Copies of this chain bind each other. A is one copy, B any other.
């Protein structure tokens, strides 16, 4: 009753029969080669290659109780601009997982509750061994719920608001260090009235980035009070924010995102100050748009984050205790010369 012409797959048994050996020998050639005689090993290897045999993932998973898969929620692309960072992370994670023999299984959800529920379902059906959470927000409820349900997980992002009490593994990028580097650079350029354009308090990531700016400019009397918060992470909000900051006398601006920075640049474009670069703007995330625009920006090492995250995850999965289960990675500032849509 089965449908498509799915030809019989080679199996351990079929390979073994073909060679007149036991299937255990074939299995050993794959999983424990040192224990099998070189001559036999060669013969088996040749047969495996000839048949294009690959061990059945299902059979293996059933036996080993490991699916070799990682669950990750794919967020809806809100903003093609800042989404670029998550894009890079997704790609890095998929690549690193593949390198380690794991697969990345995507899921979609409307909210955190849906995400947790689906991750739990996947874990209970042994479809995934592990979950990766991203976009950790302030007082995120997901870690606690996954823990309750015994679903192993790691997070890309700190457990904001619960850092002291959380003991799960996480990797994050030190946003404060990034904005501090940006502000320092602007100071070196001679600016004393350096503004910050970000989001309202309470967002974890946003507060962190503001803190880095403030730590660097607090001793500059001119920079006090030059912090503006806008609601949306959107260029149009950046235009408004930059307008306010300039009105208050800012001569340079650190932004919490490239979206906002792009808007800020747009502001200066509109008022005709672009070429003069009288008000340097630094963005955050080093997105392709920043590269294209010549916008200086803080670059997050998401590739490293993916590698570290999986290292932590598999250490825990192996029952070992990882060194430094919480890791803060250093971003770096990419300095560029602003130019209209050039590379």
Q: Write the A265-295 contact mask toward B (1 if CB under 8 angstroms, else 0).
A: 0100110000000000000000111001000
Residue of B3, B106, B235 touching A103 (CB-CB under 8 A) = B106
Contact B125 A57 (CB under 8 A): yes
Are A108 and B98 in contact, with the CB atoms below 8 A? Answer: yes
Asked whether any CB of chain B lies closer than 8 Å to the CB of A318, the reply is yes
Contact A88 B98 (CB under 8 A): no
Q: Contact check: which of B59, B77, B149 meets A288 at CB < 8 Å? A: B77
* Per-residue contact bits, chain A 248-259, to B (CB 8 Å; 1 contact, 0 not): 000000000000
Report which of B83, B105, B127, B342 forms a contact with A239, defined as CB distance below 8 A. Answer: B342
Is A336 part of the binding interface, using a Cβ–Cβ cutoff of 8 Å? Answer: no
Q: Which residues of B contact A90 (CB under 8 A)?
A: 74, 106
How many residues of A are in contact with the other chain, CB < 8 A?
A: 74
Task: List residues of A (114-133) whose CB comes within 8 Å of B's CBs.
Answer: 118, 120-121, 124-127
- Shortest beta-carbon distance from A263 to chain B in Å: 5
B235 & A318 in contact (Cβ 8 Å cutoff): no
Is A81 positioned at the interface, with any CB of B under 8 Å from its CB?
A: yes
Known A-B contacts A3-B317, A152-B4; the reply to A340 vs B269 at CB < 8 A is yes
Task: For the complex formed, measure the closest distance between the CB of A301 and the CB atoms of chain B, giving whole angstroms.
Answer: 16
0 or 1 for each of A53-97: is its CB under 8 Å from B? (1 = yes): 111111101100101010000101111110110011011001100
8 A-B residue pairs with CB within 8 Å: A6-B65, A58-B58, A80-B81, A80-B83, A80-B84, A103-B105, A104-B106, A269-B269
* Contacts A58-B59, A77-B87, A262-B341 supplied; 20 other A-B pairs, CB < 8 Å: A3-B318, A3-B319, A4-B319, A6-B65, A7-B150, A56-B62, A61-B61, A76-B91, A80-B289, A81-B288, A83-B84, A94-B108, A98-B118, A103-B127, A236-B341, A236-B342, A236-B343, A239-B340, A266-B341, A269-B269
